[in-house]
Amino acid sequence: MTIQFNDETFRDDYTFTNSERAIKRFPFPFHEDSYMYSVNMEQHQGGPEGSIYEKRFDVDEHYISEMKDRALVLDEDPLRCQSLPHMTLAGWDLLELIMVSKSEDYPDLFELHRDGNNWHWINKPLGIEQKFVFMDESTLPYGPMEYITRQTQGDFALLDQRDENLWMDAGTVTTQADWSLDFDIGMNFFEWHAPVPLAAEMGVFKRALKFLLNIQQGMPARRLNWTMTVNPLLDTSPENYHKWGVQKTTLTPENVGQKQYLRVELQTFFRLPRSNGMVFPIRCYLISLEDLVTIPKWGRRLHRVIRDVPEELATYKGFIDNRPLIVDYLSKFDDGAPTSDGV
Ligand code: HEM
């Protein structure tokens, strides 16, 4: 299928839009009328045709514009991309994983030609053609991780595995839900998760880490996470909180449908072959409430979830002050009918 790429912005005038197709394939994350943290992980071995799960790295209509936004963030703040010296090998593993996956999954958009270590990469949507020597950094304009993540939607945490733990020792993070790579770099799984309420007490992180440490090559896993964002902003980082935090105060009953977005992250986990590290891509999907309620069962269910989500979670996710406005808007789309499972 040929993708029609949008020309849109995630800042200033916010021209971001979702086509009807993008709305239909949106990863609505709730399988029941309430939400609590859990170890919601499953294998990442494809999914229904056209769904966001079908390919290893989903490319959609937002691709080109998201890559422009990433370049802007990195221009302003180079610390959004960091790699500790021992992570270069994992960076090559990641470059290989993405180039091979994209060229196999989207042969009309990406090509990879390999002759020993002499590689030729063609990225048609971004108009990039690069000949380079695999494992020789001097033949690429950036380090391997930065090179490939400037061409791939979603944030990337690159993790070293040692001492029965995962360490966030590299990453490219420009579209995050209010956490900072610069702050977290060098931390382990329990340390970077410390701000999350309730989950540690429930044993979620202990069990999740055990699962992750056992992920084998070729057997990736995935989970969904979600939050709420005012305006279709990709870069909701602590570094730029002074720019976007204040926008949360601009919601009104009249504009909440257009300005309030549900933000869903498709998080995947891949074991890397040479470094035995792990990559954690976090792919962000945004949908306005106005678009979301065009699917009636989603509108009904989101109303119930947001209304009842524990206060600690609404506070951590940053929408506690706007919750009454959001619930009031969504209540108009909830006729009280039962929702079936697996919506
Ligand atoms: C939140 C990273 C895997 C559950 C977070 C945060 C980071 C993060 C940076 C934000 C913490 C903050 O507020 O500063 C990662 C990385 C992972 C990973 C790099 C892969 C190694 C997992 C897994 C689970 C999980 C497997 C399974 C349950 C959560 C939860 C939150 C969270 C529940 C709170 C999210 C929210 O309420 O919006 N994670 N995580 N994480 N993580 Fe992870």
The number of folded domains in the chain is: 1
pLDDT value of position 269: 98
pLDDT value of position 2: 85
ipTM here: 0.98
Cα–ligand 1 centroid distance for 164 (angstroms): 18
For 250-278, what is each residue's pLDDT tens digit?
999 999 999 999 999 999 999 999 999 99
Cα–ligand 1 centroid distance for 212 (angstroms): 12
Cα–ligand 1 centroid distance for 79 (angstroms): 20
Region 293-322: mean pLDDT is 98
pLDDT value of position 339: 80
Cα–ligand 1 centroid distance for 204 (angstroms): 10
Q: Has residue 339 been placed in a domain?
A: no
Region 315-336: mean pLDDT is 98
Q: Has residue 128 been placed in a domain?
A: yes
pLDDT value of position 343: 57
Q: In what order do the strands lie in the sheet with 110-115?
A: 110-115, 118-123, 128-133
Q: How confident is the model at residue 325 (pLDDT cuts 50, 70, 90)?
A: very high
Question: CA separation (Å) from 206 to 166, 211, 220?
Answer: 12, 9, 19
Nearest ligand 1 atom, CA 313: 37
For 103-117, what is each residue's pLDDT tens digit?
999 999 999 999 999
Token match 């950094």: residue? Answer: 137
Q: Has residue 181 been placed in a domain?
A: yes
Q: Has residue 183 been placed in a domain?
A: yes
Q: Has residue 11 been placed in a domain?
A: no
Nearest ligand 1 atom, CA 168: 19
Domain that holds residue 196: 20-331
For a mutational test of ligand 1's pocket, the pick from 35, 182, 193, i.e. the residue with the most ligand atoms closer than 8 A to its C-beta, is 193
Comparing CA positions, the residue from 100, 78, 86, 97 lying closest to residue 146 is: 78
Q: How confident is the model at residue 1 (pLDDT cuts 50, 70, 90)?
A: low
Q: Has residue 337 been placed in a domain?
A: no
Q: How confident is the model at residue 342 (pLDDT cuts 50, 70, 90)?
A: low
**150 included as an active-site residue:** no
Catalytic residue among 25, 56, 70, 223: 223
For a mutational test of ligand 1's pocket, the pick from 166, 196, 229, i.e. the residue with the most ligand atoms closer than 8 A to its C-beta, is 196
Comparing CA positions, the residue from 184, 188, 168 lying closest to residue 279 is: 168
For 310-320, what is each residue's pLDDT tens digit?
999 999 999 99
Comparing CA positions, the residue from 22, 9, 101, 119 lying closest to residue 57 is: 101
Question: Within 6 Å (CB) of ligand 1, which residues are found?
Answer: 37, 39, 41, 157, 159, 166, 168, 177, 179, 184, 192-193, 195-196, 199, 204, 208, 212, 223, 225, 227, 280, 313, 316-317
For a mutational test of ligand 1's pocket, the pick from 42, 225, 319, i.e. the residue with the most ligand atoms closer than 8 A to its C-beta, is 225
Q: Has residue 200 been placed in a domain?
A: yes
pLDDT value of position 102: 98
Q: How many other C-beta atoms lie within 10 A of the C-beta of residue 331?
A: 14
Q: Has residue 6 been placed in a domain?
A: no
